[in-house]
Structure 1
Amino acid sequence: MTIADILMLIAVICIWSLLLVNVVLIIAGYLYYVKSEQEPAPEIKGEPPMVTIMVPAHNEGKVITKTVESLLALDYPHDRYEIIVINDNSSDNSSVLLGELQAKHPGRNLIIINTDKITGGKGKSNALNIGFQQSKGELIAIYDADNTPERTALRYLVAELTNDSTLGAVIGKFRTRNRDTNLLTRFINIETLSFQWMAQAGRWRLFKLCTIPGTNFIMRRSIVEEIGGWDVKAIAEDTEISFRIYMMGYRIKFQPKSVTWEQEPQTVKVWFKQRTRWAKGNIYVIVKNIPLLFDPAARNIRFDILYLLSIYILLLTSLVMSDLLLILHALGYVHTTIAGFSSFLWALAIILFIVGTYITLTTEKGELNLSNLWIIMLMYVTYCQLWMVVAAYGLVLYIKDQILRQEAKWYKTERF
């Protein structure tokens, strides 16, 4: 067996191992969705607790009015929640729009915090820490500035958390509000449903663990106080705080009935910048939490650490290696006796990808149609391949930041 054969075999084993893990998560997630659909919506027992909703915002004038109005329209008792918008060093008309909203709703607990380049502009984590200092709620909910949650979203999250003392946080689901804008937003819509929420549902069913998504979630105030707030060095502050909640002995539950709708990137440039930030942020979390693999107290969360490590390091390396070897084999520069077998496995993997992804769409009304089947096929050869570039570039940027000791900055996703 040649060196090329050995490398190809290692790559194929790694890819298929991760593919099978994903298949297991999809099956478990699908079963959880079916079960949750049959169960009644959770209800709050006793007096509703006081909730603080925090919305970090930087130059969000295009979307902030709609977001705040949707939060004001939640069916949670109006005297039992406050909204804190952290208008973080914005240079657009956000402060004017937020001031108009305060004047329009004088009787509501709508608090606006305007920071400048000295106190703010240092990232989402810093903005959340600023907002938390003025919060009063015993529960803390977070929504991104482009979100329009459904009226029941907050109530379902609160009900889950208050009915189970073992939960440190509860996450809801976000959907793509602009999914029909173009091909990219349709890709993102399918990715969100199949590879984010179905995986979350599967991990909850199998391991009773989920990762906080950054929006439409709620957590206990005591947790934020105990951990000292959000890590200002973390770009992916949602993933980072999830691990700290795990280590406190709490679980994080996924409640799919709590839904918010958000605006996704509509151009490849904006998408690439956003996803690169996610990749770099998750790599930071991986590096920070790798020591937990050898910590006996962290045995229940080793799957999540290994899962992130595998996705951003092992899978990326294996995909690049296998593609490169197949190209070199076709050009005659290297010889591998398992190239044909590898091609067969590639074809089988593509079929599993298409079928598995399409099946997950059955959980959402209006998504199970023939056009989405073609979108998934096209998605594999375009959108999914771009992910490798995103992950690799995110790794490069992370290494660069560590070498240059650069601080985390607010990475603004352009709104439309």
Structure 2
Amino acid sequence: MANLLFYASLILIWMMLLYHMFLMQGGYLHFKTLERVIPKWGKNMINLPTVSVFIPAHNEEVVIGQTLEAMSRLHYPKDKLEVIVINDNSSDRTGEIAASIAKKHPFIRVIETTEPNKGKGKSSALNEGLKQSTGEIIAVYDADNTPEKMAIWYLVMGLLNDARAGAVVGKFRVINAKQTWLTRFINIETICFQWMAQAGRWKWFKVATIPGTNFAIRRSVMEQLGGWDVQALAEDTELTIRVYELGYHIRFFPAAITWEQEPETLKVWWRQRTRWARGNQYVVIKFLGQFFKLKRKRIVFDLFYFFFTYFIFFFGVIVSNALFIINLFYDLNLTIGNISLALWILAFLLFLAEVMITLSIEKTEMNKKNFFYVILMYFTYSQMWIGIVVYSLFLETKRVLFREEVRWYKTERFAQQKMEEKNESN
């Protein structure tokens, strides 16, 4: 029995590795061709729609100033742009700082959440913004984001040139990537997510996931959907499924770039990633329960991907690790043999190869330092995700059984470095 479980878990791990290698190839192909359409699409940027940019903010005094300064530099007609800071029950100087910057820029304004949306989390704050805005296009940025000046222009470009796109998502990069060993790991993880999960799935299946930041969606779509789901901790993934159900697709257009801050301590990282994992588990359970009612079968494929990632794959990893450790102290009569050992070594080398090839897409990221960080990442950071998934599944199960109220955890911010003006020429 132990041998059967071990080999089954090894097969699951290899399935995921090979699938991500396939996605990496798609991501690289998308990277090679994505800019070819920009000159042609740019010719259609004539009768521009109005855009409302939502920035949900709860106790963001550390970062809100730099975020709004980046918003003030956006390349988009200011008479068709409104930047709305949604001050959600902040107890610090968030509202004061935002209001002082808004005085300098008429297209920036600050609103306060009201009941029933007050103090309930990001989804409720976004619903408040939807209620108090007028833009034909809704863009969303987290309060720690500094978008490049062409970000909104490119997001709108994607929507204007693709009538079937209900939303367009851009690329995000880590602004504090070199701050700690943890942010270096997150930087590598983020780049892989952009070019594998987003670009790869878009290239092969025309599927992408709405992230929590740097995306634009048609107001008509949001109104059809009735706003954001306040029960969803991963409101972005949940929204993705519903957009596809309306018959639209979600385009990945990485020409639109934002820079965001990532957790610099394990405590903050753990709490943030737990929220993400719980949110995605909620989405999987919610929509798999409606499996036969889903109209757009393309997104069913994506649901199974999330199900495989957060349930089956991690089950395989946990079982294989547990069997290996137990066998050190108690003989399970495992016949691992040289073939299994070779498969494990090949799995590690495949992981290393696909991550380094993906890093090569970002010109400055394929270097010796990152090579050693990827090796270390395999044995440390990647294994930490196992604990996250198990813990989040426990919390989500407890919430359902005891009908607990969903509580939103806002990621703690850190004093932010001034980003170099890398993109003034963009």
Q: How does 1:300-379 map onto structure 2 within 5 Å?
A: 300-338=298-336, 340-379=338-377
Q: How does 1:195-274 map onto structure 2 within 5 Å?
A: 195-274=193-272
Aligned to 1:65: 65
Deviation string 1:185-204 (CA, Å, 9 cap, x unpaired) is 11000000013442210000
Aligned to 1:5, which of 3, 6, 16?
Answer: 3
Which runs of 5 or more residues in structure 1 are unaligned?
none
Contact conserved, 2:168 with 2:215, CA < 8 A, in 1? yes
Aligned amino acid, residue 286 of structure 2: K
Deviation string 1:355-408 (CA, Å, 9 cap, x unpaired) is 110111111121111111001000111100001111111111111111222222
Distance, in Å, in 2 between the alignment partners of 1:239 and 1:371 is 33
> Aligned pair in 2 of structure 1 residues 118, 39: CA closer, same or farther (>3 Å)?
closer
Structure 1 position 88 matched with structure 2 position 88:
yes
Structure 1 segments, 4+ long, off by >4 Å, are: 116-119
What's the secondary structure of 2:48's corresponding residue? coil
Q: How does 1:92-171 map onto structure 2 within 5 Å?
A: 92-105=92-105, 108-115=106-113, 119-171=117-169
Contact conserved, 1:12 with 1:322, CA < 8 A, in 2? yes
Distance, in Å, in 2 between the alignment partners of 1:45 and 1:64 is 30
Deviation string 1:231-283 (CA, Å, 9 cap, x unpaired) is 00001000000000011110101011110000000001100100000000000
Distance, in Å, in 2 between the alignment partners of 1:115 and 1:258 is 29
Per-residue deviation at 1:164? 1.1
Aligned to 2:46: 46
Distance, in Å, in 2 between the alignment partners of 1:268 and 1:223 is 37
Per-residue deviation at 1:101? 1.2
Per-residue deviation at 1:296? 6.4
What's the secondary structure of 2:347's corresponding residue? helix
Distance, in Å, in 2 between the alignment partners of 1:34 and 1:53 is 30
Q: What value does the CA root-mean-square deviation take over the aligned residues? A: 1.5
Which runs of 5 or more residues in structure 2 are unaligned?
415-426
What's the secondary structure of 2:295's corresponding residue? helix
Distance, in Å, in 1 between the alignment partners of 2:262 and 2:3 is 42
What's the secondary structure of 2:321's corresponding residue? helix
What's the secondary structure of 2:333's corresponding residue? coil
Distance, in Å, in 2 between the alignment partners of 1:16 and 1:239 is 25
Aligned amino acid, residue 101 of structure 2: L
Aligned to 2:77: 77
Per-residue deviation at 1:115? 3.1
> Aligned pair in 2 of structure 1 residues 163, 185: CA closer, same or farther (>3 Å)?
same
Aligned to 2:422: none
Aligned to 2:190: 192
Distance, in Å, in 2 between the alignment partners of 1:96 and 1:372 is 40
Distance, in Å, in 2 between the alignment partners of 1:102 and 1:213 is 26
Per-residue deviation at 1:292? 4.6
Distance, in Å, in 2 between the alignment partners of 1:236 and 1:215 is 12
Per-residue deviation at 1:116? 6.5
Aligned to 1:390, which of 388, 411, 426?
Answer: 388
Distance, in Å, in 2 between the alignment partners of 1:395 and 1:410 is 16
Aligned to 2:400: 402
Distance, in Å, in 2 between the alignment partners of 1:293 and 1:98 is 44
Aligned to 2:12: 14
What's the secondary structure of 2:391's corresponding residue? helix
Deviation string 1:103-146 (CA, Å, 9 cap, x unpaired) is 222xx222211236874111110000011001101110000000
Distance, in Å, in 1 between the alignment partners of 2:93 and 2:247 is 43
What's the secondary structure of 2:38's corresponding residue? coil
Distance, in Å, in 2 between the alignment partners of 1:177 and 1:169 is 25
Per-residue deviation at 1:409? 2.4
Deviation string 1:332-374 (CA, Å, 9 cap, x unpaired) is 3311213543332121111111111011111112111111100
Contact conserved, 2:99 with 2:109, CA < 8 A, in 1? no
Distance, in Å, in 2 between the alignment partners of 1:173 and 1:300 is 23
User: TM-score, normalised to structure 1's length?
Assistant: 0.96
User: TM-score, normalised to structure 2's length?
Assistant: 0.94
Per-residue deviation at 1:410? 2.8
What's the secondary structure of 1:53's corresponding residue? strand
Deviation string 1:179-227 (CA, Å, 9 cap, x unpaired) is 0101111100000001344221000001101000110000111111111
Contact conserved, 2:114 with 2:128, CA < 8 A, in 1? no
What's the secondary structure of 2:386's corresponding residue? helix
Per-residue deviation at 1:38? 4.8
Distance, in Å, in 2 between the alignment partners of 1:309 and 1:409 is 23
Per-residue deviation at 1:72? 1.7
Contact conserved, 1:84 with 1:112, CA < 8 A, in 2? yes
> Aligned pair in 2 of structure 1 residues 375, 275: CA closer, same or farther (>3 Å)?
same
User: Size of the alignment, in residue pairs?
Assistant: 412
Contact conserved, 1:174 with 1:261, CA < 8 A, in 2? yes
Deviation string 1:269-325 (CA, Å, 9 cap, x unpaired) is 100100000000000000011035434623211210010000000011100101111
Aligned to 2:30: 32
Aligned amino acid, residue 55 of structure 1: I
Aligned to 1:177: 175
Aligned amino acid, residue 244 of structure 1: R
> Aligned pair in 2 of structure 1 residues 263, 377: CA closer, same or farther (>3 Å)?
same
